[in-house]
């Protein structure tokens, strides 16, 4: 599911947060510790320092070149083994 389309400043390192509170309420559960995966489909940008809490995923998006558009994929697993796959489209400004 496409969550959002966001601008990312060229060459910068920026922290992003994905909040899964609403999805987790429907399942009456929390995220499985360490069960978040974030990948970036770019040759010039990358993600690192991925951390998941009981209801949020944090990651840093780094670099990128001006006018580039790419997708970041986020996958989380809840404590009842429900899996959610999301994407965020970024465009570099």
Alpha helices in the chain (DSSP H): 21-27
Beta bridge partners of 7: 91
- Whether 28 shows a pLDDT value over 90: the answer reads no
Record the pTM: 0.91
Beta bridge partners of 72: 40, 88
For the chain, strand residue ranges (E) read 2-8, 13-19, 31-40, 45-52, 56-63, 69-78, 83-92
pLDDT tier at 26 (50, 70, 90 boundaries)?
A: confident
pLDDT score at 52 = 93
Q: CATH assignment of 2-92?
A: 2.60.40.10
- Whether 68 shows a pLDDT value over 90: the answer reads yes
- Whether 27 shows a pLDDT value over 90: the answer reads no
- Whether 38 shows a pLDDT value over 90: the answer reads yes
């Amino acid at each position: 599911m496409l969550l959002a389309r966001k601008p990312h400043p060229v060459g910068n390192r920026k922290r992003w947060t994905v909040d899964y509170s609403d999805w987790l309420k429907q399942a009456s559960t929390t995220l499985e510790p360490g069960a978040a995966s974030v990948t970036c489909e770019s040759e010039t940008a990358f993600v690192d320092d991925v951390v998941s809490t009981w209801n949020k995923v944090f990651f840093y998006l780094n670099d990128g070149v001006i006018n580039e558009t790419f997708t970041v994929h986020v996958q989380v697993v809840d404590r009842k083994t429900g899996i959610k796959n999301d994407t965020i489209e970024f465009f570099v400004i």
